[in-house]
Amino acid sequence: MNSYKNKLSREDVFQSLPVPSALRIMILPSVISQLIVLIYNMADTFYVGQTNNPYMVASTSLILPVFNITICLASLAGVGGGSLVSRLLGQGRHDEARRVSTFSIYLALAISALFALIMACFMRPILRLLGAGSNTYEYARQYALSVIVAGGVPTVLSNVLSNLLRSVGRSTAAGFGIVLGGVLNIALDPLFMFVLLPDGQEVLGAGVATCISNCIACLYFIAVLLLGGRGQVITFNPGVGLAERESIKAIFAVGVPSAVTNFLFDLDYVILDRLMVSYHDLALAAIGIVLKVERFPLNIGVGICQGMMPLVGYNYAAGNRKRMRDSIRLSLGVGLIIAAISIALYEIFASQLIRLFLDDAQTVELASAFLRVRVLATPLMFISFFTVYLFQAFGKGTVSLLLGMVRWLVFNIPMLYLLNTIFGMYGLVWSQVTADTLSVIMSLTVYIKFRPPILRKDQLPER
């Protein structure tokens, strides 16, 4: 009975509900979960900032790119598998969709365990490479042990299961699990940092709270699947059989570009941190806060894209051109409006937002100036990754990989070095706007050239 209800709900959302209603059902939980993820990541910085110790703040900022690599690993299995599951359902191939979901889950378990082991074995050289110095190394090590070594597997599995549930139209269940982990982290942070652990161990307390929260969220997702009844699309049961060879290729064809794109995004942050620390530790603390504050509109944009992608992928596979195009247009319009509002708010309230995390006057001044510049790139960044998500929905991993590689390796990362050499510290801050202007031009050109025939007016009649 549960399976029948889920199927009926999926068909309503993907096929018959008006596009604004369907997008609201799919996007709203995704946006909320993205914001909660950001808030609980920022909660660590917020609570650590209450110590007024910029070295503690800098250490958590150093680990953020490595922590985000776990999200890259989740993208490989979650985005690759989820994108394919939506298309298979659009084609009516439910049994193969089940096999793909199972393969994606066990793939996530294997790669996340391997990454955690590598981090445990090579902790010191990795942290030194990230820029950890004598003032920040021990704090960074404590945080990494908690959130990556101990918490890496549940973090990856939670994100993969969330993507897979969203791919079958269960966006609310997917979003609730992420929200659960975030709310728990916000509640547990002060408990572990200021009550259970002694002074000087605040960073360790933040890491332990994050680890426990992600473990509980992972248990929620496992319970959702185990209680869902027999016959559901997303399943742990290896008895459904191995996915077809072409399906496995399709998972990696989309998943690998998604993971690589996310990795390059994080690499950009690592390089920015490394270049910024060459000025002074306060500059590193300032940019660390800015990189989190600026993620509010960006994470909303990611939530819009995540909610839009299964709807577009399903209707692309089903050949419903009108519903697919309407979904794309409405999602893009909403994202651009939010980006414009965020620019206005950040320009006006930059200092007040920074002071939520740290009250050191010099750091606040630096971070406020950084934020007012970097927020100008928000609509440009949204257009760039919206285009990537579209090609992932179409199953065109090669094109999405092209977009990601060119964006980061040709524009963003080289621009960091170029503008740093010419203009110094503020050249680093302006690099995002400069590079993403070029990225948008490239993204629109690639979309026009490589969009599938169903999106061309002269190819198929609208349904």
Pick the more confident residue, 461 or 424: 424
pLDDT of 334 over the 90 cut: yes
On whether residue 395 sits in a domain, the answer given is yes
On whether residue 459 sits in a domain, the answer given is no
Alpha helices in 12-53 (DSSP H): 19-49
The token pair that represents 238 in the structure block: 């290896």
Pick the more confident residue, 67 or 438: 438
- 314 by Cβ neighbours in 10 Å (0-12 / 13-18 / 19+) ranks as buried
Kindly state the percentage of the chain with pLDDT values over 70.
Answer: 94
What is the identity of the amino acid at 311?
Answer: L
On whether residue 33 sits in a domain, the answer given is yes
Say what the pLDDT of residue 107 is.
93
The token pair that represents 441 in the structure block: 């031009």
Q: pLDDT digits over 101-145, tens only?
A: 999 999 999 999 999 999 999 988 888 887 777 777 888 888 888
CB atoms within 10 A of CB 16: 10
Say what the pLDDT of residue 285 is.
79
On whether residue 77 sits in a domain, the answer given is yes
> How many domains does the chain divide into?
1
Say what the pLDDT of residue 182 is.
84
Range of the domain at 126: 2-454
Say what the pLDDT of residue 10 is.
59
User: What's the average model confidence in pLDDT over 305-327?
Assistant: 89
On whether residue 382 sits in a domain, the answer given is yes
Whether 122 contacts 93, CB under 8 Å: no
State pTM to two decimals.
Answer: 0.79
On whether residue 461 sits in a domain, the answer given is no
On whether residue 462 sits in a domain, the answer given is no
Say what the pLDDT of residue 185 is.
87
On whether residue 380 sits in a domain, the answer given is yes
Q: pLDDT digits over 210-255, tens only?
A: 899 989 999 999 999 888 767 788 888 888 888 889 999 988 888 8
